[in-house]
Amino acid sequence: MNQIPQDNQGPIDVVIMAAGKGTRMKSRLPKVLHRLAGRALLAHVTDTAARIGARHVVVVTGHGAAEVEAAMSATGAALQFARQEPQLGTGHAVQQAVPLLPDDGTVLVLSGDVPLIGEETLRALIAASAGQRLALLTIEFDDPTGYGRIVRAEGQGGQGAGEVTAIVEQKDATEAQRQIREIYSGVMAVPVGLLKGWLARLDNRNAQGEYYLTDIVKLAAADGVPVVAHVIGDALQVAGINSPAQLAALERAWQLRQADALMAQGVRLADPARFDVRGTLACEADVEIDVNCVFEGSVYLGEGVRIGANCVIANARIEAGAVIHPFTHIDGEKTGVTVGERSLVGPFARLRPGAQLGTEVHIGNFVEVKNSTLADGAKANHLAYLGDASVGQRVNYGAGSITANYDGANKHRTVIEDDVHVGSNCVLVAPITIGAGGTIGGGSTVNKSTAPGALTVARGKQVSFPNWKRPQKTPKA
């Protein structure tokens, strides 16, 4: 382990480089807005910056700058933006940001396309800088091709091999330097006052004709400022995204890590390779999750919950003993969805924002529930819609029935009191109250409230014509 000095670095500021075009993504979407685990790559980095308590977060934009800035502003994160136009290298990128930073802190330089950098790793790097050193985050790769190599005083790579004297980019490295396996991750911590001076001295005399941020290592060494490396072994934290293949590989690696953590807690996954968390998933004991399930936003699964195959569940709380049958779609959006204990939902059901199910509620195939509460024991088992409704205990809601909650301008509420039986193919025209214990005859369109215990039938009188002959086609001449 690296020796971590005492923390005296002062305020922390963050610069995130997000100006690159991402040509290999072959997409009109700026690279940093492509999604990992359901969120933009850049959003992962800004979230981590917020968790470490950054005073200022400056995002350097370039390609697709307006789109990137608009998308990140919409997240509500406290960000500042600096534009790099044209893009003349990493050193030039940071030059655009530092005028926005006070001189009294330590700056972390991060990359918008390296989404999984860890909070504790950054805290350790900041501590290694200690407000007076240039600290680099490094890692050893068996194949370091394409990365800047860490050159140490002894001329050797490797953890603890000596003080860092330079970072040499792949295209500028000698054959001997290309054998070094320790590489620079693109993440550094440096006192802002020192950084500003070094940036002013950068030049572009290299194979790319660019201003390399990594050249500040040589400047620090020349000025007698210690350059230290904090070495990690977790490649996921420094994995960058340059192509759809790399994005897909990092997605699967990240999801497998989430799956492993859940299984260590006792969650039973039918296949960890067919499982996606795109937010947060909290599980109690004895949860079972079948294949191809996607969890988005914030989801809680109580003890003994079973999730069938091919379900999508977002922003929902599912209480103990509930069963979500296959192909169910639950999305609480901002309002949330609650499924009560021992309730049964699906298959092919849809719970929309504001659906609140009590204990032992049954929502069956092709039933949609939106902004409605169903009290304990209520059932809607087939082909039905409940929107803006309050459903009492033990209600049985028939197949094909709907609440007509929208009059073309406004939404209205339907109240179905305890122990009501609604027959098949009924339309309840809101606003309306169906009294407790009442029965609505099948095929009825009801637009007036009913008394408790009443049988209500509202349909045309049946007429039959005996010996009816259907029209016959006229033979062609």
| CA distance linking residue 93 with residue 212, whole number of Å | 9
Neighbours of 330 (CB within 10 A): 27
Give first-to-last CA distance, the chain, whole Å: 97
Asked if residue 368 lies in contact with residue 397, where contact means CB atoms within 8 angstroms, the answer is: no
Is residue 33 helix, strand or coil?
A: helix
Asked if residue 409 lies in contact with residue 426, where contact means CB atoms within 8 angstroms, the answer is: no
Catalytic entry in 329, 382, 412, 421: 382
Is residue 265 helix, strand or coil?
A: coil
The neighbouring-strand residues paired with 456 are 440
In the chain, what's the furthest Cα-to-Cα distance?
108
**What is the Cβ-side half-sphere exposure of residue 55, based on CA atoms within 13 angstroms?**
14
| CA distance linking residue 128 with residue 228, whole number of Å | 7
Is residue 466 helix, strand or coil?
A: coil
| CA distance linking residue 418 with residue 440, whole number of Å | 13
Q: Is residue 382 flagged as an active site residue?
A: yes
**What is the Cβ-side half-sphere exposure of residue 390, based on CA atoms within 13 angstroms?**
11
DSSP code for 279 = E
| CA distance linking residue 322 with residue 357, whole number of Å | 11
The burial of 151, by beta-carbon neighbours within 10 Å (0-12 exposed, 13-18 middle, 19 or more buried), is given as buried
Instruction: State the DSSP string of 281-340.
Output: EEE-TT-EE-TTEEEEEEEEE-TT-EE-TT-EEEEEEE-TT-EE-TT-EEE-TTT-EEE-
Amino acid identity, position 7: D
Catalytic residues: 382
